[in-house]
Structure 1
């Protein structure tokens, strides 16, 4: 019975070559030897020539070199530089997200090589480039101002806080919806799973403050956020019972910068200071991770039950965070806010 040598493992093929050549050297006919292995007659003669010329080591299994790579290592490194930290629009494309099709077109344009989508996917994997959901960054951001805040202004604020024995808190507001995008689940391929939730849409607003030692304050409210409400409901509640001065870091929302807020801060006679983050840089605020946690671990994974109140659910989730100082401290370990560490 004939055997297709291509289906044999490298180890098995090497063993057959060695046995076949040895049997021929012991006096058997090459045709009879190869027939006994079920292989085609012509394949034994190159083995015999190789063994006579280079010895038995010439029969050893070797990894097949395969097809010559389309790109050199230097060209592959260039592809990585084009993608990492860059935007396809910088190269004249209309789309702002990298796709295999765009990468293939860019390689064709710059290197003259045509790579299929599968080959591009393998190349990106080799370059340790993976598909990810990008973060939004506003055009209005000022990188110089952000760097100055991280390297100069905030360290000075920390130093002042230590001298005055003040606490530094980061505060932020957010809205939570009952129809928040659901997280991922497992299901049969080709059949999208269904999750039963309440059809009643609810929304609620929240405000919270965190510090690096794990302290957490929050309020849940309905309606609009404005300067009067910020002062009368939230700042006064936040400051109630505090024995140490507070340096409160907030974003540039108009309500935070209102004259009545500045007047209220002045009335505190040094017990409260407001400091403002650079514009369009929410990732610098550790309190942002509170809302990421609430949205990703709350209604996204545990949809509301029939007639369940979103307000009570959010209050319960925030109370759970307050009971876990270690969790609050972990929000300060994210790469974008690591500058807040002492």
Structure 2
């Protein structure tokens, strides 16, 4: 190696190998100045390596992680970094009186500056976030009106009691929900040249339909596709169909939609109490309703992969997809194994 070669330009592994070669040469009797000239490094570097070798041997010269550990040094103390991370994980910016809706790098930089008077660049903030095990993710929306205590009670007490009673009554537990579908719904991605947003052709007319469905953790599926608004008579018609389709008693769990609490629906359930028990979940917790996952499946794998030109086609597409799912009970069963709804998988 020639003197003009700068060892600092070598890869870290090559540098570690060079250190060991120089130290072994000195061990063999070569003077440190000669070793420095031979391997193209400074005498000071060789002196340092030899000193390290005397204390820890060649093992002490092995390749080590380079650079500072973010969050454990630099301008932030370890305790400060841990506190900033706990604030990010535990609360949203608005709760900390920051003028941001989501945790962005700018929001984190503002928090660090406010708490500790330290100004850091967005690039540095990004490195801190990675070192803290945080990554940018699409947030899940939760309503302010939700009652966390009621939801916890539902998960730990109310639903387990419902499941036990259903076993005693030999009843099937169905989870029901309804949703609207629109012709202009677009889902998925499409490859295109960088910087050129792909364009899809579809009718400029806007039309829609609605569906109501109910599923069980055994893979059963009942549904009804309809036009118009979701009102009490529509819900009662669905209940009538469900009772004809299912043999035995039914526990139907639904959300707090006004139609589910309407007089007509309540009266129908009371009249058919020997066959039907209508149960309402706590409000504002759609993530706990398994039928919401079927809704997403219809939007993504049914409507999302087609381009209907009129309402009749739209309704036909939705029905075909749901008929196909009726013949695939394992797909319905798998919905109950998603992490946030696993509590009712069995």
Separation in 1, partners of 2:234, 2:51: 94
Asked whether 1:287 is paired with 2:291, we answer yes
1:62 deviates by 5.1
Which is worse superposed, 66-75 or 76-85?
66-75
- Secondary structure of the residue aligned to 1:299 is helix
User: Does 176-185 or 267-276 show the bigger shift?
Assistant: 176-185
SS in 1 for 2:74: coil
DSSP-derived class of the 1:141 partner: coil
User: 1:91-240 maps to which residues of 2 (within 5 A)?
Assistant: 91-231=96-236, 233-240=237-244
* SS of residue in 2 equivalent to 1:125: helix
Length-normalised TM-score, structure 2: 0.85
Secondary structure of 1:170's match? Answer: strand
- Contact 1:100–1:120 (Cα < 8 Å) also in 2: yes
Q: Are the aligned partners of 1:51 and 1:58 in contact in 2 as well (CA < 8 Å)?
A: no
Q: Deviations 1:144-195 (Å, cap 9, x if unpaired)?
A: 1112222222222112211111111111100112221332334333222333
Residue 251 (structure 1) aligned with residue 252 (structure 2): no
CA distance, structure 2, for counterparts of residue 18 and residue 143 of structure 1: 61
Unaligned runs of at least 5 residues, structure 1: none
Cα-to-partner distance string for 1:116-154 (whole Å, 9 max, x where unaligned): 111211222222222122222112111111122222222
Contact residue 225 and residue 315 of structure 2 kept, 8 A:
yes
Per the alignment, in what secondary structure is the counterpart of residue 198 of structure 2?
coil
Deviation string 1:52-110 (CA, Å, 9 cap, x unpaired) is 79547499355375344333333332222111241110111233211110011101111
1:313 deviation in Å?
A: 1.4
Structure 1 pair 73–189 and aligned structure 2 pair: CA distance change class (3 A): farther
Distance 1:90 1:223 in 2: 41
Q: Provide the rounded CA distance (Å) in 2 between the counterparts of 1:274 and 1:53.
A: 76
Structure-1-length-normalised TM-score: 0.86
Alignment match, 2:281: 277
Which residue of structure 1 lines up, in the alignment, with residue 67 of structure 2?
66
Q: Tell me how many residue pairs correspond in the alignment.
A: 336
C-alpha distance in 1 between matches for 2:62 and 2:119: 33
Partner of 1:4: 6
- Residue 43 of structure 2: aligned partner: 44
Cα distance change of structure 1 residues 4 and 170 upon mapping to structure 2, 3 Å threshold: same
Is the 2:183–2:308 contact (alpha carbons within 8 Å) kept by the matching residues of 1? Answer: no
Tell me: CA distance 1:219–1:14, structure 2 relative to 1, closer, same or farther (3 Å): closer
Considering only aligned residues, what root-mean-square deviation do their CA atoms show, in Å?
Answer: 2.9
Task: Assess if the C-alpha contact under 8 Å between 2:32 and 2:46 holds in 1.
Answer: no
Mark the runs of 5 or more structure 2 residues left unpaired by the alignment: none
2:307 counterpart residue number:
304
